[in-house]
Amino acid sequence: MTRRKRRVGTANAPARLGRIIPMLLLSLLIVALGVPAGLAVSPGFLGPARPPEPAAAGPWQQLPATLSDAGGSGSRANMKPLSADAPVPAAAAVAAQLDATLKTDGAGSFTGVVQDAATGEVLFDRAGDDVRAPASNIKLLTAAAALRTLGPDRRFSTKVVAGATPGTVVLTAGGDVLLGAGDSAPDAVLGHAGLGTLAQSTVRALQQAGVSGPISVLLDDSLFSGPALSPAWSPDDVAAGEIAPIFPLALNSARFDPGTTTGPRPQDAAMTAAEAFTARLVEAGGAAGLSVTPGVARATAAQKASKKTPDDGGGQAGQVLAAVESATVSQQVDLLMRTSDNYLTEVMGRMVAAASGKPANNEGAVAAVLQQIQELDVPSATLRAVDLAGLTLDNKVSARQLSALVRTITSGPDLRLRSALAGFPVAGLTGTLGSRYTDTSTAGGAGLVRAKTGTLNTVIALSGYVVDADGRLLVFSFIGNGLTPGAAGNRTALDRTASALAACGCR
């Protein structure tokens, strides 16, 4: 099956949008999350009080004027602040708007659901219960499951421990696949933990133990089990770098270079990272007079640290010599949502499985994620998942299920899920929506629509949330299947439809 390549990374938004806008929008949104629960509207989306001076729009809807229709039907001149008193749009009026925009360009069809976030009232329903291939919209499931199971503040530790054999250290994978090759970068997500820093800390620990070498490095990446590739993935996608064999240790989310987000990937990302660590250890050791043997091998069961092994002068076997910590799960979820990172999503699913007591393999990851979705009371009887990245047509999810999940994230009782809000790409500004919403038919949604994208050769999807012109929070999901490959009008149809919701004062 031929697929249109998913575009990973953030395209440059037009200069007129400014770089401060996404941070302003998201900061205001996060501030709103602190409002106590129990109010008429979800605590996460009660905005600040009306400012004392007249304002053209609520602060969450301050847009670059050049990207919106300031004088036509999309005018926001009369928009009101988000509040519990904002009127719920009339379903018939919403349907009239969306039926005019949600049309395919060629073959196939769109399904869709729009709900009022506070009440759950369905405002638009086009075959909303039909299960369809959702492409990368299925990543929403893993994002929610990771935040619930692991917690937003959890970090993954990459450790170096003393080996069972004198003169060996074991690089032990802990699930961080966003490692950097150099020094740790505390303000970054990708590269938050650096192998250079880990190597320097390891050398210091060995020096303090009086070890002079030679030291050899072993790799323990046994945290994950089973086949590293899902049988559902096309070899063509693997060859193209859409995905790669899954390991619990990798540099740059299994990319050769942090600045390159397309093309072939390392086929053994754990070994690639271990070799990079060993090279750094050789450098750091040489500068400190510690002999380190180049090269690395996978540790056998006998070579892994055993607490029964006596102290050999380099630390008792199993003793942690050095460690670096990843960015938080919340930050990693933000990244996987914003850039639609296939590799990171699959790794996060396996970490959910491990935390749930399930095998950390493809099947365990899918089962663990689906269990979490069921516990969120999202209607999931018909939901089927065979991978978590969304690279196969065998996944089946309905627009109603995705809309319900987005509503749970924005307005449900589990406040851990609010951490996913900032990861939804912002139309015209960030992530996979950064280069969209720039033409006259969709620009009215720029800065307002926040949605997860999904694209395969014959599939396109968009699920997210938006505050309408009256200040009402709406959640939505639109899924197109059986589409004409490469037909540009399908993406425009989704963007125009979401923009119509943003402009809606549908009475």
Q: Is the dihedral of CA 117, 119, 125, 131 positive or negative?
A: positive
Is 42 tagged catalytic?
no
Is 139 tagged catalytic?
yes
**Closest to 137 measured CA to CA, from 454, 369, 458, 490:** 454
Nearest-angstrom CA–CA distance, 458 and 455: 8
What is the chain's alpha carbon radius of gyration, rounded to the nearest angstrom? 24
One-letter identity of residue 287: A
68, 80, 83, 139: which one is catalytic?
Answer: 139
HSE (side-chain half, CA atoms, 13 Å) at 487? 20
Q: Is residue 9 packed enough to be buried (19+ CB in 10 Å), middle (13-18) or exposed (0-12)?
A: middle
Tell the residue number behind the tokens 């002999």, with chain if given. 291
Nearest-angstrom CA–CA distance, 277 and 341: 24
One-letter identity of residue 360: A
**Closest to 177 measured CA to CA, from 80, 92, 117, 250:** 250
68, 83, 253, 340: which one is catalytic?
Answer: 340
Helix axes 269-288, 195-208, angle to 10 degrees: 50
Residue 132 contacts residue 397 (beta carbons within 8 Å): yes
Residues in the chain: 507
What is the residue-wise DSSP string for 305-341?
--TTSPP-SS--TT-EEEEEEPPPHHHHHHHHHHHT-
Tokens of 74: 């999309």
* Residues with Cβ within 8 Å of residue 153, at least 6 apart in sequence: 328, 329, 330
For residue 114, list its beta bridge partners: 124, 476
Residue 463 contacts residue 477 (beta carbons within 8 Å): yes
Tokens of 249: 């240790």
Q: What is the phi/psi pair of residue 225, to 5°? A: -130, 175
136, 184, 253, 326: which one is catalytic?
Answer: 136
Residue 497 contacts residue 447 (beta carbons within 8 Å): no
Is 340 tagged catalytic?
yes
One-letter identity of residue 297: A
* Residues with Cβ within 8 Å of residue 15, at least 6 apart in sequence: none
Nearest-angstrom CA–CA distance, 265 and 283: 26
Tell the residue number behind the tokens 């002079």, with chain if given. 212
Give the other-Cβ count within 10 Å of 257's Cβ.
10
**Catalytic machinery residues:** 136, 139, 340
